[in-house]
Structure 1
Amino acid sequence: MDRVEVLEERVAHLMRAVEELSDVVARQAGEIAGLERRVRLLMERAAEEEALRGEAPEANVRPPHW
């Protein structure tokens, strides 16, 4: 194999790796978006339940060291 063929082979492997990683990143971005929606809904639900009980949400309570 001459040097050009070796470089072409390396480039082909790198291009395949980049495409595979791009697919993984795209899939993970979709999963993250779905998880963010679920967390937001859970936080809203928790805030509504706390409001019904008359409690302040944990995020609005200052820590004891303040």
Structure 2
Amino acid sequence: MSNTLTILEEQIAHLTRTVEDLSDVVARQENEISLLTNRVRMLMERSAERELEHGGQAMLADQKPPHW
């Protein structure tokens, strides 16, 4: 019985460590997604500003291009 209990405790410790590692990965990914989302927003704003400077119409993010 003691051997079974030891095996279960080892498995729980391993699973706990895996959950903690995955939590760290998810937290890093959340930060990276946030950073990339901000960069995409900034690039879209810059692109729209340049388009307006050259006399064109600014494309909104939810508009389909004219060829669709």
TM interval, shorter chain, is: 0.7 to 0.9
Q: TM-score, normalised by structure 1?
A: 0.83
The structure in which a higher percent of residues are helix is 1
Any unmatched runs of 5+ in structure 2? none
- The count of corresponding residues between Structure 1 and Structure 2 is 64
How far off is 1:61 after superposition?
2.9
Q: Which residue of 2 aligns with 1:7?
A: 8
Return closer, same or farther for 1:60/1:49 CA change in 2, 3 Å cut-off.
farther
Percent identical pairs in the alignment equals 50
Q: TM-score, normalised by structure 2?
A: 0.81
Any unmatched runs of 5+ in structure 1? none
Equivalent residue runs for 1:13-52 within 5 Å = 13-52=14-53
